[in-house]
Amino acid sequence: MPQGEQIAIITGSSSGIGYETSLMLARNGFHTYATMRNIEARGEGGSNQITDIAKNENLPLEVIQLDVNSDKSVTEAINRIANEKDRIDVVVNNAGYDLTGAIEEISLDQMRAQFETNFFGAVKVMKEVIPIMRNQKNGKIVNITSMGGRIAIPFHSIYHGTKFALEGLSESIQYELEPFGIKIILIEPGAVGSNFWKNMKTATKPTESESTDSPYSQMKTKISESLNQAVQNAMHPSEVAKAILEAITSDNPDFRYPVGKDANMTIEARKNMSDAGFQDLLRKQFNLQNDS
C-alpha cells in the first residue's frame, strides 16, 4: 500500500453495502467519498444520516452526487475528487439493483436499464479512474458482483447477465492493468439484509394485458418463498464491508472474495458438481422438481 492518506470512492452509498463500506473505510483512515444518485433523499441510510455519523465521529467522509447512469455525472464526480486530492487509491463499484421476472415478460427497455446501471455504470467509473491509477502506478478497483455472478437462479436472468458480464470483464482487464500496479478485486456476497431486496424491480408484461395470469406464476411463487427464507437468514451488509476492507488493505489481495456461508457453500458445490447435478440441486432447493 502507498504511504499517506488513501482516497476511496464508493458508489451506491445511500444504503446497504455501499453505506456500510463508506463508514467502514472512513473509520479505518481512508478519506472516503460516499457517492449516491440522490443526495437529497431522506430516511434510513440517506446522505443526512451518513453525514451526521461522520460529523459525530469526526470521520474523513464526504457525500457527493454521482449517478452511474449519467456519463456527465460520473466524469464530473471523478474529476472533482482527482482535482481535490490529486490521487484515487480505491474505487468500490457497488451501485446496482435486482430485476425479477421470466425473460418472456421482461421488456427490452427494462433489460437495457438494468445493464446500464449494473454493468455499464461500473464500466463508466472504471474508465474514468483507470488513467488516474495508471499514472500514479497504483490502485485497487473493487467490483461488487455477488454469488449471482458465479451461479444463476430462475427469474433473475438479466440480473445474473449483468453480474456474469462484470465478472468476465474483470477477469480480462486484470491482466491489462496489472503491469501498472492496478489490482482488480471481485466481492461475491450471498444474501445480504439491506434495501437491495426492497428496491428489487419486477418485470412488466409488454405483450399481455394486466388481467392475464402469467404462465410462470406457480413457479415464481415457489422461487419467491425460497428467497424470502434466504432473506430471513441474510447477513448484515457490514460483513461485506469487512471483506472489502480486508481486500483493499492487503498488499497481495485475492482476485475473488465470496462472502457469507451461502455464497461459499453454493460456489463450492458448483465447482464440484456436474451441470446436471447442480441443476438438480437447485430444482430441489426451489421445489421445482414437478414443474415442466
Q: What pLDDT digit, counting tens, does each position of 145-174 carry? A: 999 999 999 999 999 999 999 999 999 999
Task: Give the model's pLDDT for residue 210.
Answer: 47
* Alpha-carbon distances, residue 89 vs 62, 80, 168, 217 (angstroms): 16, 15, 23, 47
Give the residue among 110, 91, 93, 112 at the shortest CA–CA distance from 102: 110
* Active-site entry in 19, 159, 216, 257: 159
Cα torsion through 157, 163, 165, 167, rounded to 10: -140
Q: What pLDDT digit, counting tens, does each position of 33-79 carry? A: 999 998 876 445 567 899 999 999 999 999 999 999 999 999 999 99
Residue 159 annotated to the active site: yes
DSSP string covering the chain:
--SS--EEEESSTTSHHHHHHHHHHHHTT-EEEEEES-TT--STTSHHHHHHHHHHHT-SEEEEE--TT-HHHHHHHHHHHHHHHS---EEEE-----EES-GGGS-HHHHHHHHIIIIIHHHHHHHHHHHHHHHHT-EEEEEE--GGGT---TT-HHHHHHHHHHHHHHHHHHHHHGGGTEEEEEEEE--B-SHHHHT-EE---TTS-TTSPPTTHHHHHHHHHHHHHHHHTPBPHHHHHHHHHHHHT-SS--SEEEESHHHHHHHHHHHHS-HHHHHHHHHHHTT-TT--
Domains of the chain with bracketed CATH: 7-285 (3.40.50.720)
Q: Between these two residues, 246 and 292, which has the higher pLDDT value?
A: 246
C-alpha cell at 80: 472533482
Q: For 83, how many CA atoms within 13 A lie in the half-sphere containing its CB?
A: 6
Q: Decide: residue 42, CB within 10 A, 0-12 exposed, 13-18 middle, 19+ buried.
A: exposed
Q: What pLDDT digit, counting tens, does each position of 174-212 carry? A: 999 999 999 999 999 998 976 554 566 777 765 444 445
pLDDT mean over 86-102:
96
Task: Give the model's pLDDT for residue 3.
Answer: 58
pLDDT mean over 233-262:
95
* pTM summary value: 0.91
Task: Give the model's pLDDT for residue 41.
Answer: 62
Instruction: Please give the Cα distance from 258 to 188 (Å, whole number).
Output: 4
Instruction: Please give the Cα distance from 104 to 111 (Å, whole number).
Output: 11
